[in-house]
Amino acid sequence: MTAKAKTNDINGLEMAARLGFAARAVTYGAIGYLTLRLGRTEDNQGVLGFVQSTGGSIVLSLMALGFAGYGLWRLSEAAVDSEGQGSGAGGMVKRLGGAISGAIHLGLCWAAVRLLVWGERSSGDSAEWGASTALRFPGGEVALILVAIVLLGLGIYQAVKAVKLGFLKHLEPAAAARPWVGWVGRAGYLARGIVFSATALFMVQASMNSRASAAGGLEQALDRFPEWLRLLVAAGLLLFGVFSAVEAVYRRITDPQVIERLTRGAARIVG
């Protein structure tokens, strides 16, 4: 591959990833806004209809492209360890989290495409549907406990990133040095940590009671929180949208070390 082709590939990857961060900014910003301003709770997929009704199909189309780019980028990170997490237990957990995030965003891309092309909106709660499916099989209760453990681990990981400001290392130094960026990101990651931990608790309840309706995702977490906590978490999710917008501009995606690891990883896969 020529140097020019490599540069084009890198530029394409960077553009897709940045568009993905922008799509995430709109999603979380809308979730926080709807809860705080209108008292209306939505999950990631439910907010797509709101975006289409207010921003139009062009905005939703751009978000679909962003979700696809972001999802593929996160999956490639996990596959080739582009951020150098390593193959130890801690590194594998972080890479698994990245892969899950990638799969979720590809699902959001598909939900946006369905809404754009066929006017179909996802019905029901995906967490409840997943729990119901698991409980139909032998050992389903154990599977839900394992899912709860993963969700709790992700929640703790989000909280640790918030406390230690670990997310700043992925930003350009000029942006990472701004105090407000650190506080906005901290609030956002804490809010996400609370939501992940709550959904883990819901999964445990669904497993112990063999009742899929006890499971829930983002929307159900906001609904079940007391009002003061719901408003605080919604504000945090809104700020996470702001931080995602910062990432869309200042995230270090074309870091030379990241590019080198991607190249080595791709060579191992091809070879």
Return the DSSP state at 251.
Answer: B
pLDDT of 215-244, one tens digit each? Answer: 778 888 898 999 999 999 999 999 999 999
What's CA 118's distance to the chain center, in Å? 25
Contacts of residue 43, defined as CB under 8 A and 6 or more positions apart, other chains included, come to 31, 125, 126, 217, 218, 219
pLDDT of 104-142, one tens digit each? Answer: 888 889 989 989 988 866 655 566 667 777 777 778 788
Predicted pLDDT of residue 198: 93
As given in the structure block, the two tokens for residue 24 are 């995430």
Q: CA–CA separation, 65 vs 70, rounded Å?
A: 9
Position 233, amino acid: V
The band of 91, judged by pLDDT with boundaries at 50, 70 and 90, is: low
As given in the structure block, the two tokens for residue 151 are 């969700």
| Cβ 69 vs Cβ 16: under 8 Å | yes
pTM check: above 0.75: yes
Q: CA–CA separation, 153 vs 171, rounded Å?
A: 24
Using a pLDDT cut of 70, give the percent of the chain over it. Answer: 80
End-to-end CA distance of the chain: 15
Residue with tokens 């791709």: 266
| Cβ 162 vs Cβ 190: under 8 Å | yes
Largest Cα–Cα separation, the chain = 59
